[in-house]
Amino acid sequence: MSTSRSPWLERNTLAGGALLVVFVVALLVAFTVQKGVPFKDYTYVDVEFSDAGSLREGDDVRIHSVRQGQVSKITVGDERAVVQLQLPGDASVYRDASASIRARSALGQAYVDLEPGSTGAGDLGAETVVLSRTRSQEQLDTLLDVFDERTRERASQAARSTGVGLSGHGQRLSRFLDTAPETLTDLGIISERLSSDEADLPTTLDTAATLSRHIAAQSPALAGLVESSDYVLDAFAVDQGAPLREVLLKAPGTLTDARAALGELQQPLQDATGAVRVLRPGVADLARQTPDLRKTLTRGTTTLRQVPDVARLAEPAVRSLTGTASDLRPLAPQLSTAFVRGQRPLEAIRDYGNNAGLFFDWFADALSQQLPNGNHYLRLDLVTGPAAVTGTLPIPAPLTDRNPYPGPLEVYNEGGN
């Protein structure tokens, strides 16, 4: 007895088998896709980190901020973690390569920033990028590690005190929670901005890590500052804060009086400003003359040292002049009378002062001729011409532009000889 399968059953069997194969292939791809595309060549690089942080398998590996591969494996040891990077098969990594773990977003995502190095250092090959050339991710929760145990304990006490203080403000806290949705919406927007690649959060975290290291170096000084602030706050809290309360009550009136006083000082300050502007040129001139004055005073010390010697040498002469002045005292009235009587004659000849000067100048010029033996002589020439006749007449010469009898200053003003 023979049986036969129906065509419908055979088709369904083949479709079921094909679907099963596709399902198995899909499962294999789903489990292996994070390791890369099958049958494709890759380059694997091992990198040592002191702490892998939030890095996970499948996270990005970036070169110059461009994704080039992924993290294929993380092996955590006692003192370090070895991260295996999967890169394209044609990627080149050299012996001076360096790497760092950076934050991709504020939600804990991270990636490996790889610097391949330079060709002059040679290919890395199967070697590992050592710990000295890598940098682990800085976590926000490690910032508190820079404080010592006492500081952390005080911070814990402050947090507990804050909780106790809020327990008596339930209504206000309720109102705050009513407005919390809007605040959370704003925080969501801020989180989205921080999670974007343009936020440059890794640089911010690196800066925060640098700041934390500086704070750690100054922890003793910060501890002393906290203790000093404790003393200051205790001083404010004396008598249950009564002195501080009194100061705050008087502060509005004091500030009002201070404002009025400052207003009254405005005009004097403006006057002082004007005075300073007026004095500025004089001060500038004094500043310019100060070097010369300094030189004069410096060099004048030599002369001043000689003054006592000169005074001692002049002392006998001054004493002699004292006796001479006493002897001349009877002549003073007579000299005074002579000057009074000579005033009018001197006023009469005052206008001829220039003429007298010209007379002596001409007389000296006339005697300027000198013989070989050194004697001077006066040369007189006989004047011929009309001036010899007209000059003797008591009338002006019609042909000569010259006044033979000039008045005071006339010869000088006319330019006569």
Model pLDDT, residue 163: 72
SS3 of residue 83 by DSSP? strand
Sign (positive/negative) of CA torsion 50, 55, 57, 63? negative
DSSP string, 297-313: HHHHHHHHHHHHHHHHH
| C-beta pairs of 28-31 under 8 Å, 24+ apart in sequence | none
Cβ-contact 110, 83 below 8 angstroms: no
SS3 of residue 399 by DSSP? coil
Residues 6+ apart with CB under 8 A from 80: 48, 49, 50, 131
Q: What is the pTM of this model?
A: 0.32
Distance, CA of 105 to CA of 140 (rounded, Å): 12
Quickly tell me which residue has 């934050």 as its tokens. 103
Model pLDDT, residue 154: 77
Maximum pairwise Cα distance, the chain? 196
Quickly tell me which residue has 């003003």 as its tokens. 413
Model pLDDT, residue 414: 47
Q: Which of 59, 124, 65, 52 is nearest to 85 (CA)?
A: 59
Model pLDDT, residue 96: 92
Strand ranges of the sheet holding 110-115, from the earlier edge strand across to the other edge? 128-129, 42-49, 81-88, 66-76, 60-63, 110-115, 98-103, 134-135
SS3 of residue 278 by DSSP? helix
184 to 134, 189, 199, 256: CA distances (angstroms):
37, 9, 20, 42
Distance, CA of 300 to CA of 372 (rounded, Å): 52
Between strands 98-103 and 134-135, the pairing is: parallel
Q: In a structure prediction context, what are the per-residue pLDDT tens digits for the chain, which is 417 residues long?
A: 445 556 666 666 777 777 777 777 766 655 555 555 555 788 899 999 988 878 888 889 999 888 989 998 899 888 888 999 999 888 889 999 999 988 887 677 889 999 999 988 899 888 999 988 998 876 555 556 666 777 777 777 777 777 777 666 777 777 777 787 777 787 878 777 777 777 677 777 778 888 888 888 888 888 888 877 777 777 777 777 777 788 888 888 888 888 888 888 888 888 888 888 888 888 888 888 888 888 877 877 777 777 787 777 777 877 777 777 777 777 778 778 877 887 777 777 777 766 777 777 777 777 777 777 777 677 666 656 665 665 565 666 555 556 655 666 565 444 444
Per-domain residue ranges of the chain: 11-38, 41-137, 265-322, 344-414
SS3 of residue 128 by DSSP? strand
Distance, CA of 69 to CA of 82 (rounded, Å): 17
- Packing angle, helices 266-328 and 242-264, rounded to 10: 60
Distance, CA of 97 to CA of 87 (rounded, Å): 14
SS3 of residue 315 by DSSP? helix
